Amino acid sequence: MEAKILILENTPTIETQRLILRKFTENDLMSLLELLSDAEVNTFLPWFPLKTKAEAMVFLERDYLSYYSKPSAYRYAICLKGDSKPIGYVVLSDNESHDLGYGLKKEFWHRGIATEAATSIIERVGKAGYLYITATHDVKNPHSGEVMKKLGMTYRYTYVEQWQPKDIPVTFRMYQLNFDGDEDRTYMEYWNVRDTHFIEKIV
């Protein structure tokens, strides 16, 4: 394991050309429910579409609010400038994978918003001392892979996972960005724990 010194940040507000990235609050409950109850948005998410305010509150507290008491976290609501209502999210996991994830309401797809939001997070975590980040996408969702390429991430390998709680087999492509230029570094945990894994020729 390589030693690293991280600058601790807990979801500082970020402004980009079109967006404000900020912490989620309890006031965002209905916006989160609207996003995560959409069956089309949910297609490539592991959990089932949310149905109730109670389910949304569990999700909000578990995946966002609980992280804001930690020394460092990157868990953002994506908002358009001039409108405080979240239209999506961008997060960085706090485990060894440093997995980048993002999601948007479908009316905002294909407008470069996920790329803009994720770029701002990548800039911060690179300066904060992270050695790398990863991201994965379902092979049936190539648009997400295109976002990863735009972010400067490179394909490393593919693996098959029995995704929970949907309990379906999903083939994922794993991308990685190393901040120190060491292109020999690849996060191998997904490869090591899956029986089915291989390297594709990605163009």
Domain ranges of the chain: 14-198
d(CA 52, CA 123): 36
Q: Which CATH number fits domain 14-198: 3.40.309.10, 3.40.630.30, 3.30.70.3340, 3.20.20.70?
A: 3.40.630.30
* Percentage, residues of the chain above pLDDT 70: 98
What's the pLDDT tens digit per position in 40-62? 999 999 999 999 999 999 999 99
Residue 197's φ and ψ, nearest 5 degrees, are -155, 150
The pLDDT value recorded for residue 203 is 75
Q: Is 21 helix (H, G, I), strand (E, B) or coil?
A: strand
Looking at the predicted structure, is the pLDDT value of residue 106 above 50?
A: yes
Q: Is 175 exposed, middle or buried (0-12, 13-18, 19+ CB in 10 A)?
A: buried
Confidence of residue 1 (pLDDT cuts 50, 70, 90): very low
d(CA 146, CA 134): 14
Confidence of residue 4 (pLDDT cuts 50, 70, 90): low
Reported pTM: 0.94
Q: Which helix (H) or strand (E) holds 155?
A: strand 154-163
d(CA 54, CA 73): 24
With beta carbons less than 8 A apart as the criterion, state whether 179 and 151 touch: no
Q: Is 74 exposed, middle or buried (0-12, 13-18, 19+ CB in 10 A)?
A: buried
What's the pLDDT tens digit per position in 140-168? 999 999 999 999 999 999 999 999 999 99
User: Which whole-number Å values give the CA distances from 134 to 145, 173, 187, in the listed order?
Assistant: 12, 10, 8
